[in-house]
């Protein structure tokens, strides 16, 4: 499965214990989610998130490697290897891993994003040791056989055809990312890889990538659910502990986006029924660029285009009747730079110039300083509520911990996240918009029917 970017939520619970921010008396109050962490002697970082809501557990093993760690001409390795991780070891036959999980009443899957690769199983608490034993086995003993590689390559190519080549919007996104991040740069290349690269990749390529990145000291284990830190540590020491650490080179990401911006890209496609308009801006993340802007950009995303009651939706959809939908998106949790996207689905008969004028008017209001404390507070509460809701999920909570740690963050940052969001002021939002919403950091894209935008 290929990972997609998303607005960051959080991992926190309602509480009246934390002091209220003086200027935000009605903000949701939160406390640190109970968690315990430890690191094995071989460098494997372990996070335990106890919960007694149900007698089940979720094991998530995240490797600090993704498609952005590939090189141009060898794209798609991280995702292809994710597939091959289910093809067996010396003790577990091809496809048997998934069948064992299913036979024991559980479910499992995997994902690949630009910065990480993850494997997870949700199962009855008394089957946790079985899951650890199998996951540790394929961390150290994966077998990549030609008879399994050839048919799985066709599976990956078909996945690309279904998810990218047959989806005009995805093809346009590939075309946008190249100038936005720079040709051949880590975030410009598709996670699933280019077709020609996928056809060339061989067992030696995958094995070398596996040996280079799949090591305990390059991984984070998150276990959530009906268990304790003591139990998890005992099992982790038994099954993951004997795997030796290996030297893993530091990962690097460009500190700048593409050159030659702004650019405009249009894709006309007979499969498109209605046009779309997008504008993407290079943006900082928690790790790269002016990271102080990241939390303010999350607030900006919500108040500008994060819901049907946001500024953009009210102005273009509810009031102006210019669009069927209008939204904004941004992801802060990236090892490198991120992007801030504005997207509009125009109403029938509306022109490109009308859409761009209307979006520009709403952006200008923000850039001119027209951001109120009340709408900032509403956006903050939306983000804090998402943190609260994540407590009820055995999927989103562990994945946020894994994502933060896999991209250079810390548990302390997660613990402090609600206070950081609550501290954002209207002036911070305006400053973040001025920092990011610049023509020389943008790519505007149009997706139209074959006849163009009528």
Whole-angstrom Cα distance, residue 193 to residue 185?
Answer: 13
Instruction: Write b or e for each residue in 30-53: b if 16 or more Cβ atoms lie within 10 A of its Cβ, otherwise e.
Output: bebbebeeeebebbbbbbbbbbee
Q: Give the residue numbers annotated as catalytic, written as ranges.
A: 82
Distance CA 451, CA 454 (A): 8
Q: How far is CA 352 from CA 168, 280, 346, in A?
A: 19, 16, 9
**What values do phi and psi take at 222, rounded to 5?**
-120, 125
Q: What are 349-356's contacts with CB under 8 Å, separation 24+?
A: 349/454, 350/322, 350/323, 351/453, 352/277, 352/446, 352/453, 354/322, 355/277, 355/316, 355/322, 355/323, 356/277, 356/444
8 A C-beta contact, residue 439 and residue 260? no
In angstroms, the CA 418 to CA 66 distance is 28
- Here the tokens at position 382 are 């939306």
If phi > 0 it is left, if psi is from -120 to 50 it is alpha, else beta; for residue 278 that is beta
- Residue carrying structure tokens 């490697």: 65
On the CB side of 272, CA atoms within 13 Å amount to 24
CA distance 372 to 379: 11
State the distance between the two ends of the chain, measured CA to CA, in whole angstroms. 36
CB atoms within 10 A of CB 372: 11
Residue pair 70/198 in contact by the 8 Å Cβ criterion: no
Chain mean position to CA 276? 23
- Laid out side by side, the sheet with 56-63 consists of 36-39, 45-50, 219-225, 56-63, 117-124, 107-112
Residue whose pair of structure tokens reads 């923000």 in the numeric block: 366
Round to whole Å and give the CA distance between 276 and 343: 7
């Amino acid at each position: 499965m290929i990972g997609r970017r998303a607005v960051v939520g959080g991992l926190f619970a309602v509480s009246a214990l934390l002091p209220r921010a003086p200027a935000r008396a009605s903000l949701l109050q939160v406390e640190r989610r109970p968690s315990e962490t430890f690191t094995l002697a071989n460098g494997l970082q372990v996070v335990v998130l106890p919960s007694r809501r149900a007698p089940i557990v979720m094991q998530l093993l995240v490797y600090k490697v993704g498609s952005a760690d590939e090189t141009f001409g060898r794209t798609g390795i991280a995702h292809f290897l994710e597939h091959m991780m289910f093809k067996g070891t010396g003790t577990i036959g091809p496809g048997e891993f998934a069948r064992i999980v299913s036979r024991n009443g559980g479910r499992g899957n995997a994902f690949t994003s630009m910065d990480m690769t993850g494997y997870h199983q949700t199962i009855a608490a008394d089957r946790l040791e079985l899951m650890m034993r199998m996951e540790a086995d394929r961390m150290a003993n994966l077998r990549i056989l030609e008879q399994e590689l050839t048919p799985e390559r066709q599976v990956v190519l078909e996945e690309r055809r279904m998810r990218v080549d047959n989806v005009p919007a995805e093809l346009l996104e590939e075309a946008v990312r190249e100038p936005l991040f720079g040709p051949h740069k880590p975030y410009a290349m598709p996670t699933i890889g280019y077709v020609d690269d996928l056809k060339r990749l061989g067992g030696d390529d995958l094995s070398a990538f596996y040996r280079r990145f799949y090591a305990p000291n390059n991984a984070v284990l998150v276990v959530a659910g009906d268990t304790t830190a003591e139990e998890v540590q005992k099992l982790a020491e038994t099954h993951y502990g004997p795997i030796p650490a290996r030297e893993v080179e530091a990962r690097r990401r460009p500190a700048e986006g593409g050159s030659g911006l702004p650019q405009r890209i249009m894709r006309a496609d007979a499969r498109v029924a209605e046009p779309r308009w997008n504008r993407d801006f290079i943006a900082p993340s928690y790790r790269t660029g002016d990271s102080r802007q990241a939390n303010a950009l999350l607030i900006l995303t919500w108040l500008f285009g994060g819901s049907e009651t946001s500024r953009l939706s009210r102005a273009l959809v509810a009031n102006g009747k210019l669009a069927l939908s209008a939204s904004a998106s941004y992801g802060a949790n990236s090892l490198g730079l991120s992007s801030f996207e504005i997207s509009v689905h125009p109403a029938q008969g509306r022109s490109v110039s009308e859409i761009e004028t209307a979006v520009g008017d709403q952006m200008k209001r923000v850039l001119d300083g027209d951001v109120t404390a009340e709408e900032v507070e509403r956006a903050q509460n939306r983000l804090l509520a998402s943190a609260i809701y994540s407590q009820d999920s055995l999927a989103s909570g562990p994945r946020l911990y894994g994502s933060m740690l896999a991209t250079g963050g810390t548990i302390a940052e997660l613990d402090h996240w609600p206070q950081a969001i609550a501290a954002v002021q209207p002036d911070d939002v305006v400053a973040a918009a001025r920092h990011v919403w610049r023509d020389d950091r943008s790519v505007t894209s149009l997706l139209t029917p074959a006849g163009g935008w009528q």
